[in-house]
Structure 1
Amino acid sequence: MREAMTDRVADWRLLGLGFWQAWQIVAMCTDIVAPTSGKLFDQGNALLILLVLMTAAYLAVVVASRRYAPFAGRDSSYVLAAALMAAGTLAMPVALHFLEGIVGIGVFVMAAASASLGNALLLIMWGELWSALATGRVGRHLYASYTFAFVLFFLIYFMPQPVAVMATTLLPIISTAVLYACRHEPRREPSVVPLDVHTIPVARLLVCLFIISVIWGLTQGIVGTFAEGDEFHMAKSLLLAGGGIGAITLSMAVTSSPSEALTLYKPVIPAMVAGIVLLLLQPAVYPFLGSGLIIMGVYCLDMLLMLVSTDIAFRGRIPVALSFGVAILTTRAGTLVGSVVADGFLFAPFWTAQLRTDICLVAVLLLAIIGMLFFTMADVQRLYVTPRAQRTDESLEQKCAAVAAMGHLTNRESEVLVLLARGRSVPYICDELSIAQGTVKHHVSNIYRKLGVYDRQGLLDAIEQGGVGRSALA
């Protein structure tokens, strides 16, 4: 019972990422933090400047990671991230509403730079935690965190402007405090299936991420032309996106998936393609349907990046801030490029509805090509398989025994390992071994931690491949 209670407390703490994501949604999808109706900038320019500074902030954190990573190991990093984000969040709307001229612009830029740097640092630290978690429910925690973020967002969205600003200012402080409380979460040991990072087509995957992000920035820049006059368009789009992510969260809680990475990847391309097609088919009826699907697809991509890039860093023995930071920097740079291009199109004399249609069709074509040829389900799966010479004369029990010895599993954990390898569920294991469900979950968590994996697919790979060759623990 005590172990089950501990698991539930840990689960709630891991929702702390949702406070960071709620800040991101408020800052980039509303005018609460960066009002477009202030005195200093024309429509949209404040958000574009914020996006430029965010991209620069991730670059700065990636560069700094070579000397200071892991950031989560330093108490000063928590204070710095919370202070920079909170101060910048509070100062941006103040500068836009109450200051004028060069002074106002200077204060806004400094505030935006402060919030952006804190934002990048805080997310990288969450990635450092995520990379080493011993739980087998990492992907579900990510989805639950993002679903929680949408709940927080709508609570803030309907607040009066001054109250909403103060609430948004508190989000990074709470997220940092929760992250600090997670420092002693169970951490996994080095994987028994070490990853050779040289086998990963990094350049190809980064190019695909960049192109997808350019399409995201481009479509978000021009989507307003589909919904002119609808002041609640973005709110309705986010409600649809949040509902979709919430539905996936519920399905992941009810049914277990061998590979959470594949579950995260599945909606990305289909949701974005369907969203753009819906915008073209029904441009004046329900544009929020298309926009919401696009947002859902991109947020699923963000979660996939956090899950995969941090796990690759852990198994490849490279700094999380470098692996995860480069992936996020690539997406932020792509979003910036797409947003700048969209801004240029909208104010160009040759902008027409036909050009808008052509851009959307090209975007659909590029997404389809990427999903079919360059960034497929098979590519995601290969990130978790390290080719090794297999011995076909070994039984499943022998392979499990070899892996159990490598991971120094207890006798009871070895028994649970064999049942997991046979595809048995937690309730089945409870009945088979006559132990409580909380105890089984505790054993499963310990197995994941000791073998250095985070989901069922990784465990199966460890059994099939880790039982032969040299152990990563040696």
Structure 2
Amino acid sequence: MAEGVQYGLSEEKERRLGMARSGALQGIRRRLVGEPMFKRFGDNQDSFASSSELAPTRLGMAVEEQWPAFKLVGFGFYYAWIWISYNSNVLVSPGAAYLPPDTISQTYLFSTLALSLALVALSIGRRFTERMMNRVSVAVVASLVAGLATVGLYAASAPEASGALLVVCAVLTGLGTSVIVLRFGIIYSKVSARDAVMYTAASFVFACMIYFVAIGLPAPAGMVIAALLPLMAVVSTLPNAEFAVEEGALPERASRSANMFFVRLLIAVAVFSVVVGVARGFAVPHSVAANMNAEGAVIVFSSGVVAAALFLLVGLLRRNFDVGRLYYPIILVVAACILVTPLVGGAAFGGQFVTVGYNCFVLVIWCLLAYVAYSSRLSPILVFGLGRGASALGTTLGWMVGLALVRAYGETGLSLEVVSVAMVFALLVVSMLVLNDRLIGEALREGSKVASAPDAPQGEGDEGVEARGGAAEFPADAEPSAFEERKPGRYQQRLSAVAERCGLSPRERDVFELLVRGRSIDYIAQNLTISFNTAKSHIRHIYVKADVHSRQELLDIIDREGE
């Protein structure tokens, strides 16, 4: 008996050793072949859906189903923080109210400089950034750092406070909000151009409302609201399940035309931001912190009115809205405002018009970045990291140059007219030669074709599907033989029953029916006219609601439904 037990234990030990050797050989084979450690969603759905860290919660999905726009309009929390921080005296202590606005200037410069450098660094290290974006804890910590640093800015604005505290807090706000920018960039990369315009415009209107609430409250209540806004922005992104889908994606295979358009867009954003920064730098010496609420109210209200009008205009249009139509009008408005600035002596009044134009430009550029990420193979982290980074870096450098010129030479020694004409000339050159409305229109039309076209030829078997990340266990055009034996009527009833019991939304039911037929993610996206990443998001929701980890388990549920 003892020998039998010993023999059984020995056999079990050999079996485990064999499994260990097999696993080790598979690991070596992966390293030799070069198989990536992180697979795409379609390539490894089992391990992906079972991750408790990455899987969306049912509460989060319930919020998303009841109010799917929450994660998009939540962008307004972030922009409200920007407007409150840089267009009001909410973060200025009462003792510094009538001092020159050096505190706001230094805060803006150090914060935006840290933001731009962080975004560029995160976009360059995209693999690391993808894993970081997947961690909710990282986003929450980043928002808390930005919120606490906002409180620190209020304390650092006191006359007796140390200047080092101001610099440290300003840098921390830039570093913390860089994570928020990329999270919203990932979300906006999943929507069409029309939806991006509408939700961005709605976010601006929402931010406008928050701004006026914050400046209308007595101190320090407004500061508390501003400190909570980064956390609220992150909370609004939590119901979204798109972040984990991006991890381990294959390298970008964007077309040459898409790459060239993105480079042109970056150049235009950088030049425009520098020009606006110089114009805003001219206006800094003409204002004091006590007047910033009145000046900022004009800027924010005007920006909100433009955003509301744009929201209504796009909402009334039944066809897709060409965001490129807004490009030239904004260029002309900003150019006119820059030319008006010398007529008012470089006063803050002229800077207000320039800032309103810049806010409108940011709205358009954010939508263009969203569409580039939506319609091309470029990573949204790369697109929004470099795009928003170029904008922040350009305004920072321009602000520094404008402020330095005015302080060094004064308005009498330096002709504002010459500088204004030079800036307008730079805008016109960029808008006509580097990035014009024709190039934007062509890029949008080409992007529409790319977004609606399949990524891989259908019907080429498993290899053709998996090579482009399409999913799964069946060829793209092949269906399981067991399906052919089932009666369509009864099987459709099973599908409806499973979908009803799992609480699938109408769009998820459409994806569900194609998924169980063995269709790839590419095919589902093309057939339902949705983006590749949106299709992956719906599949992920289906797995969570059905409490399964693979397509096979989903098919087993359908089979049990008929028993």
Task: Give the TM-score normalised by the residue count of structure 2.
Answer: 0.62
**Which secondary structure state, in structure 2, belongs to the residue aligned with residue 272 of structure 1?**
helix
Q: Which runs of 5+ in 1 are unaligned?
A: 390-398, 410-437, 455-474
What is the CA distance between 1:133 and its match in structure 2? 3.6
Aligned residue in 1 for 2:439: 379
Aligned residue in 2 for 1:469: none
Structure-2 change in CA distance of 1:114 and 1:320 (3 Å): same
Report 1:54-453 matches (<5 A): 54-65=112-123, 66=125, 67-70=127-130, 71-97=132-158, 99-100=160-161, 104-133=162-191, 137-183=195-241, 195-197=254-256, 199-201=258-260, 202-223=262-283, 232-280=294-342, 283=344, 288=349, 291-352=351-412, 355-386=415-446, 450-452=529-531
What is the CA distance between 1:344 and its match in structure 2? 1.2
Structure-2 change in CA distance of 1:46 and 1:148 (3 Å): closer
- RMSD (Å) for aligned C-alpha atoms: 4.3
Aligned residue in 2 for 1:421: none
What is the CA distance between 1:267 and its match in structure 2? 3.9
Structure 2 residue 68 is matched with structure 1 residue 24: no
Aligned residue in 1 for 2:33: none
What is the CA distance between 1:216 and its match in structure 2? 0.9
Structure-2 change in CA distance of 1:256 and 1:269 (3 Å): farther
**Which secondary structure state, in structure 2, belongs to the residue aligned with residue 328 of structure 1?**
helix
**Which secondary structure state, in structure 1, belongs to the residue aligned with residue 444 of structure 2?**
coil
The residue identity in structure 2 corresponding to 1:238 is: V
Distance in 2 separating the partners of 1:343 and 1:208? 22
Structure-2 change in CA distance of 1:209 and 1:138 (3 Å): closer
Aligned residue in 2 for 1:11: 69
What is the CA distance between 1:49 and its match in structure 2? 4.5
Structure-2 change in CA distance of 1:448 and 1:365 (3 Å): farther
What is the CA distance between 1:292 and its match in structure 2? 4.6
The residue identity in structure 1 corresponding to 2:357 is: G
Q: Which runs of 5+ in 2 are unaligned?
A: 1-62, 460-469, 471-475, 478-504, 512-523, 534-563
Distance in 2 separating the partners of 1:36 and 1:376? 46
Larger Cα-atom Rg:
2
**Which secondary structure state, in structure 1, belongs to the residue aligned with residue 167 of structure 2?**
helix
Aligned residue in 2 for 1:461: none
Structure-2 change in CA distance of 1:385 and 1:105 (3 Å): same
The residue identity in structure 2 corresponding to 1:205 is: L
Residues 258-296 of structure 1: CA deviation (Å, up to 9, x unaligned)? 244325535431221232344455x389974x5454333
Q: Is the 8 A contact 1:20 1:172 kept in 2?
A: yes
The percent of aligned pairs where both chains have the same amino acid is 18
Q: Is the 8 A contact 1:218 1:339 kept in 2?
A: yes
What is the CA distance between 1:139 and its match in structure 2? 1.7
Higher relative contact order (Cα pairs below 8 Å, separated by 6+ residues) = 1
What is the CA distance between 1:384 and its match in structure 2? 3.0
Distance in 1 separating the partners of 2:457 and 2:205? 36
The residue identity in structure 1 corresponding to 2:531 is: G
Structure-2 change in CA distance of 1:350 and 1:105 (3 Å): closer
Residues 315-342 of structure 1: CA deviation (Å, up to 9, x unaligned)? 4434322221111111111111111111
What is the CA distance between 1:356 and its match in structure 2? 1.9
Distance in 2 separating the partners of 1:314 and 1:223? 38
What is the CA distance between 1:302 and its match in structure 2? 2.0
What is the CA distance between 1:446 and its match in structure 2? 7.4
Structure-2 change in CA distance of 1:184 and 1:309 (3 Å): closer
Task: Give the TM-score normalised by the residue count of structure 1.
Answer: 0.72
Distance in 2 separating the partners of 1:153 and 1:216? 22
Q: Is the 8 A contact 2:192 2:371 kept in 1?
A: no
Distance in 1 separating the partners of 2:440 and 2:270? 17
What is the CA distance between 1:173 and its match in structure 2? 1.1
Distance in 1 separating the partners of 2:105 and 2:427? 26
Distance in 2 separating the partners of 1:286 and 1:47? 16
Q: Is the 8 A contact 1:147 1:249 kept in 2?
A: no
Q: Is the 8 A contact 1:214 1:334 kept in 2?
A: yes
Q: Is the 8 A contact 2:146 2:173 kept in 1?
A: yes
Report 1:448-459 matches (<5 A): 450-452=529-531
Structure-2 change in CA distance of 1:387 and 1:276 (3 Å): closer
Distance in 2 separating the partners of 1:380 and 1:167? 38
What is the CA distance between 1:166 and its match in structure 2? 0.5
Give the total of aligned pairs: 406
Distance in 2 separating the partners of 1:212 and 1:285? 19
Structure-2 change in CA distance of 1:270 and 1:106 (3 Å): same
Q: Is the 8 A contact 1:240 1:292 kept in 2?
A: no
